Amino acid sequence: MNKKYYTRFAKRFRIVIMTSMIALFSLVVVVPNDASFAQLSAALRAGAGPSLSIVTKIGPVVTVPAGKIVESHVDCPAGSVPTGGGSDTGADPGDPRLQFIQSGPFTSHGFTATGWKAAEFNPTTTNLLFFVVVQCATITPGTIHK
């Protein structure tokens, strides 16, 4: 893989991996020990299984003044949780104009993540732009009645 494209690829790959892991773990259905496979199959076909909904939100475009570090964030919709995210400059892969500082879950109050944050440094003499992206998951638990 071309080295200049690896950073953007790695960010996107991490988002896909984390979202996939959450999807797999959330689709576990708890069934009583005496329930048969036929009952489980019928319940899943009837829509009794859990569901996972993923939404990608893009934050506002933020200006980073020359020589400054700027942090921005984007929140998930109410009732959903962030599963991954990052920042994007809109520039060609490998463009060294904005330098990545950090990216991670955003907590507005307390310790519960409500979105994603990122920070970028502008080493140039002109203003540059970036935005934050977050993938949010909403899990609806399934129920199986015997």
pLDDT by residue (tens digit) across 88-140?
A: 887 666 666 888 889 989 887 778 888 999 999 999 888 888 899 999 988 77
Domain membership of residue 132 (yes or no) is yes
- Give burial (CB, 10 Å; 0-12/13-18/19+) of 136: buried
Domain that holds residue 12: 3-140
Closest CA to 106 of 129, 79, 82, 77: 82
Using CB atoms within 10 A of its CB, is residue 77 exposed (0-12), middle (13-18) or buried (19+)?
exposed
Any domain includes 63: yes
Average pLDDT, the chain: 76
Residue 145: phi and psi, rounded to 5, are -105, 140
Whether 54 is covered by a domain: the verdict is: yes
Residue 82 lies in a domain: yes
Give me the number of domains the chain comprises.
Answer: 1
Residue 73: inside a domain, yes or no?
yes
Inside any domain, residue 58:
yes
The answer to whether residue 145 is domain-embedded is: no
Task: Burial-class residue 117 by CB neighbours within 10 Å (0-12, 13-18, 19+).
Answer: buried
Mean pLDDT of 26-50: 56
| pTM score | 0.62
> Is 146 among the domain residues?
no
